[in-house]
Amino acid sequence: MYQLNWQWFHRLGSPRWFYEKTSRWSPWIGAIALLTIVIGVVWGLGFAPTDSKQGNSYRVIFIHVPAAFLALAGYYVMAIAGAVGLIWRMKLSFMVMKSAAPIGAVLTFVTLVTGAIWGKPTWGTWWVWDARITSMLILFFLYLGVIALQGAYQSRDLSNKSSAILSLVGMINIPIIYKSVDWWFTLHQPATLKLMGPSSIDPSMAYPLLIMIFGFYCLYAWLLMAWTRLEILNQEQKANWVKELLLEGRIKSDLKNA
Amino acid sequence: MQFQFENILDFIQMSGHGPYVWASYVLTFAVIGILIYIPYKLKRQIVAQLRRKQKLENSDY
């Protein structure tokens, strides 16, 4: 009577269950991501008004800010997945952690490069060693560190544990990134969108930005599913359900030929 | 809501900021394209590998 029903939790940890569920979800999430990003890009590039101070260069914001949002959110995903893997020894959780690293690294790279491209016409320089940009660069190295640790050991268990610990230790960087524009004098403009209080952006620019952020969240979810699904296939190659699933086409055609 | 540029050339040039803006967008979608392509390609490799293995197993006896 006092036993909690933990069945859902164990099912969640089953790679097969995850693979089958995401087979159904991921086309929808992918379609929503594509649709919202196309709308956001067209709106942001062509229809949002030109900024009175920055001119057209500000249109980089529709890429730069969503990528930065997901670079940070992706780090939470990676670190939490690592923690769940460490605590409950959940294999799937480590797979999610491993998959989050390259996606996060690419998004951080996009944030840094689009920031540099935006900086040139706006600040007159590609790069400054200020707090926001330097802490983002550290985030990039943390992602690269996790990718490197995944390949550093012969034992998968050891790779997973050390990656998870690095992700968790690196969490200290996240509040520093958020607060860096307030704590230190910097060229970087303060946050455009605020959860509390009025945003410093006009609605005509905020709508396409919010659409792009939503689109990037969906894109991130889709990418994380795709990479985790691949990791499942890779690690479970010997499992019967994987063989049946992947060789299904072949078995069917064999039957036809027979 | 209305299109902010006079014509397509104006849209491309964006009064001098065009190269910066377009470079950001092209680069972003290029690297995201790579992120989409890698799992697709690796999955095909795994399937091919499994098929080869199965062929060997079937021809064994």
Among positive and negative, which fits the CA dihedral A209, A211, A212, A214?
Answer: positive
HSE toward the beta carbon, residue A29, CA cutoff 13 A: 18
Closest partner CB to A47 (pick from B3, B39, B49): B3
Residues of chain A with a CB closer than 8 angstroms to some CB in chain B:
41, 45-50, 55-57, 59-60, 63-64, 67, 102-103, 106, 109-110, 113-114, 117-118, 120-121, 204, 219, 223, 226-227, 229-230, 233-234, 237, 242-243, 246-247, 250
Report the predicted TM-score, pTM, of the whole model to 2 decimal places.
0.90
Question: Alpha helices, DSSP H only, in chain B?
Answer: 8-13, 18-59
Q: What string of pLDDT tens digits covers the 258 residues of chain A?
A: 456 667 767 777 789 999 999 999 999 999 999 999 999 999 999 998 888 888 889 999 999 999 999 999 999 999 999 999 999 988 999 999 999 999 999 999 999 999 999 999 988 889 988 889 999 999 999 999 999 999 999 999 999 999 999 999 999 999 999 888 888 877 788 887 776 666 778 888 889 999 999 999 999 999 999 999 999 999 998 888 998 888 876 555 555 554
Nearest alpha-carbon partner for A64 in B47, B52, B4, B21: B21
| ipTM for the complex shown | 0.90
From residue A225, alpha-carbon distances to A66, A151, A187 in Å are 19, 21, 37
Nearest alpha-carbon partner for A60 in B8, B34, B27: B27
pLDDT at residue A210, rounded to an integer: 94
Rounded CA separation A220/A74 (Å) = 8
